[in-house]
């Protein structure tokens, strides 16, 4: 059976070109990047090149990039690292209710340690309440952490505006850009971003590799003790092959940005239009305009999303109910709840996320299956 994969927000397949650049670092240039002999120097060269590629993609200096093991680690390092280093300046952090759990749970941990966290509300489309953001700022506020784009509903937050507010008030600004890399152009200078998290497996590099941008001069505490790798901020022998893969993948995705973005938008808009035209009692979640090019999050009234997922799986279609991280949870997603969806509608929600290997033919097949399965499930429940 042909597999049609529409869950690219959960993870992506590694690109052939990425894998090809990684392989020598397992078998030939496998040295420790700290070693002075040739095999180590080659590894170090790979590491340096990847750092430059990442920096070029977001317009920063390569010295401002720290490699980590994933997006979650980058978020932890940014939020806790900045909080611990700035304790003497204040104990207040502002974030939103729809962040990924890597951010939310980092904040929860900090609350237990005496920090105060404001979780901003969002409107029905998932846009952060800017008035609440402004009124929450106080003399103790040391960090604002707002995601660039939401993983479930695809809403792109007003990052430029938030960056300006943070800068004006002399508060550090972190953004979880795990879903935005490759899908949105990001210039950390123009957007006044001080810290930014990313994760390779969302843009065709392998799982288990991430990066954190930290603007020069910003102090943050390391979370892991050990060696002096990553400028003494992230101990552990560097995962060179995967770092090389992340570097290649980020370079490629921005080289193809216009074509990639247009392709995703075309498939997404076709899917949304067809579903809206042909299936009654549905609701598109997330901002219709400011949304990730590949995201279509739709609630189908009266349809159990888990049952829909199983039926789609039987014909080889991979999709998600809410975010991958919360699939299987009994509780409805915190994102869908925060935009005001009642519990029943939240559990009737399917996220389709398009990627570079999806075709129009596959999307038409998906639409046909959705029309049939939604109708069948609704009829069964009558
Ligand atoms: N932040 C967002 C917005 C995400 O979507 C994800 C993963 O889905 C993460 C953070 C965590 O990234 P990782 O899986 O690399 O730990």
Same domain, 319 and 247: no
State which of 222, 255, 288 marks the end of a domain: 255
DSSP state of 200: G
| Vertex 265: Cα angle to 257 and 364 (nearest 5) | 130
Q: Is the CB of 176 under 6 A from ligand 1?
A: yes
Same domain, 247 and 306: no
Residue 324 pLDDT: 39
Q: Is the CB of 175 under 6 A from ligand 1?
A: no
- DSSP string of 47-101, one letter each residue: HHHHHHHHHHHHTS-GGGEEEESSHHHHHHHHHHHHHHHTTTT--EEEEETTS-H
Residue 326 pLDDT: 45
Same domain, 149 and 218: yes
The best mutation among 199, 207, 246, 323 to test binding of ligand 1, ranked by most ligand atoms within 8 Å of the C-beta, falls on 199
Domain of residue 71, CATH code:
3.40.640.10
Q: Which atom of ligand 1 is nearest to the CA of 200?
A: 15
Q: Is the CB of 211 under 6 A from ligand 1?
A: no
State which of 255, 289, 306 marks the end of a domain: 255
Same domain, 270 and 285: yes
List of E strands, 97-147: 116-120, 141-145
Residues making up the chain, counted from first to last: 382
Same domain, 220 and 92: yes
Taking CA atoms only, the protein residue closest to ligand 1 atom 8 is 10
Ligand 1 center from residue 332 Cα (angstroms): 18
Full pLDDT tens readout for the chain, 382 residues: 999 999 999 999 999 999 999 999 999 999 999 999 999 999 999 999 999 999 999 999 999 999 999 999 999 999 999 999 999 999 999 999 999 999 999 999 999 999 999 999 999 999 999 999 999 999 999 999 999 999 999 999 999 999 999 999 999 999 999 999 999 999 999 999 999 999 999 999 999 999 999 999 999 999 999 999 999 999 999 999 999 999 999 999 999 999 999 999 999 999 999 999 999 999 999 999 999 999 999 999 999 999 999 999 999 999 999 643 444 556 789 999 999 999 999 999 999 999 999 999 999 999 999 999 999 999 998 7
Q: Which atom of ligand 1 is nearest to the CA of 325?
A: 8
Same domain, 89 and 218: yes
The best mutation among 74, 99, 100, 174 to test binding of ligand 1, ranked by most ligand atoms within 8 Å of the C-beta, falls on 100
Same domain, 372 and 298: yes
Same domain, 214 and 190: yes
Residue 322 pLDDT: 64
Q: Is the CB of 53 under 6 A from ligand 1?
A: no
Residue 381 pLDDT: 80
Same domain, 360 and 316: yes
- DSSP string of 14-50, one letter each residue: PPHHHHHHHTHHHHTS-S-TT--SHHHHHHHHHHHHH
Query: Among residues 183, 196, 206, 187, which one has the least CA distance to residue 256?
Result: 183
Residue 331 pLDDT: 79
Number of domains making up the chain: 2
Residue 371 pLDDT: 98
Query: Among residues 246, 207, 239, which one has the least CA distance to residue 21?
Result: 246
DSSP state of 226: S
Q: Is the CB of 72 under 6 A from ligand 1?
A: yes
Same domain, 359 and 274: yes
Of 60, 70, 318, 325, the catalytic one is 325
State which of 255, 273, 307 marks the end of a domain: 255
Is 107 a residue of the active site? no
Q: Which atom of ligand 1 is nearest to the CA of 150?
A: 3
Query: Among residues 351, 348, 345, 343, which one has the least CA distance to residue 305?
Result: 348
Give the range of the structural domain holding residue 308, as residue numbers without chain letter.
Answer: 4-12+257-380
Bridge-based pairing of strands 349-353 and 295-300 is antiparallel
Q: Is the CB of 102 under 6 A from ligand 1?
A: yes
- Label residue 226 left, alpha or beta by phi (over 0 means left) and psi (-120 to 50 means alpha): left
User: What gap in Å lies between CA 350 and CA 296, rounded to an integer?
Assistant: 8
The best mutation among 72, 152, 207, 211 to test binding of ligand 1, ranked by most ligand atoms within 8 Å of the C-beta, falls on 72
Same domain, 139 and 273: no
Q: Which atom of ligand 1 is nearest to the CA of 99?
A: 3
Domain of residue 372, CATH code:
3.90.1150.10
Same domain, 23 and 94: yes
Query: Among residues 284, 276, 244, which one has the least CA distance to residue 25?
Result: 244
């Amino acid at each position: 059976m042909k597999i049609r994969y529409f869950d690219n927000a959960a993870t992506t397949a590694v690109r052939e070109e990425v894998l090809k650049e990684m392989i020598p670092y397992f078998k030939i240039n496998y040295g420790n990047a700290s070693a002075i002999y040739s095999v180590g120097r080659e590894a170090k060269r790979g590491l340096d090149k990847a750092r430059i590629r990442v920096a070029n993609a977001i317009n920063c200096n390569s010295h401002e990039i720290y490699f980590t093991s994933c997006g979650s680690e980058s978020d932890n390092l940014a939020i806790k690292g900045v909080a611990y280093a700035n304790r003497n300046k204040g104990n207040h952090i502002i974030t939103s209710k729809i962040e990924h759990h890597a951010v939310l749970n980092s904040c929860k941990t900090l609350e237990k340690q005496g920090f105060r966290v404001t979780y901003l509300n969002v409107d029905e489309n998932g846009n952060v309440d800017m008035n609440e953001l402004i009124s929450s700022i106080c003399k103790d506020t040391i960090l604002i952490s707002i995601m660039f784009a939401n993983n479930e509903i695809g809403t792109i937050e007003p990052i430029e505006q938030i960056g300006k507010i943070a800068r004006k008030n002399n508060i550090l600004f972190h953004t979880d850009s795990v879903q935005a890399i490759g899908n949105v152009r990001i210039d950390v200078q123009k957007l006044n971003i001080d810290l930014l998290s990313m994760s390779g497996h969302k843009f065709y590099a392998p799982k288990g590799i991430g990066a954190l941008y930290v603007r020069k001069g910003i102090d943050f505490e390391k979370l892991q003790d050990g060696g002096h790798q990553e400028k003494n901020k992230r101990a552990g022998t560097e995962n060179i092959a995967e770092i090389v893969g992340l570097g290649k993948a980020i370079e490629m995705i921005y080289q193809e940005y216009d074509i990639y973005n247009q392709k995703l938008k075309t498939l997404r808009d076709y899917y949304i239009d067809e579903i809206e035209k042909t299936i009654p009692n549905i609701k598109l979640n997330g901002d219709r305009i400011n949304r990730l090019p590949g995201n279509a999050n739709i609630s189908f009234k009266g349809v159990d999303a888990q049952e829909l997922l199983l039926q789609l799986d039987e014909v080889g279609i991979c999709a998600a109910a809410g975010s991958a991280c919360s699939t299987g949870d009994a509780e409805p997603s915190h994102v869908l709840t925060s935009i005001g969806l009642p519990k029943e509608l939240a559990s009737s929600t399917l996220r389709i996320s398009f990627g570079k290997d999806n075709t129009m033919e596959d999307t038409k097949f998906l639409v046909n299956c959705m029309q049939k399965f939604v109708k069948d499930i609704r009829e069964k429940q009558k």
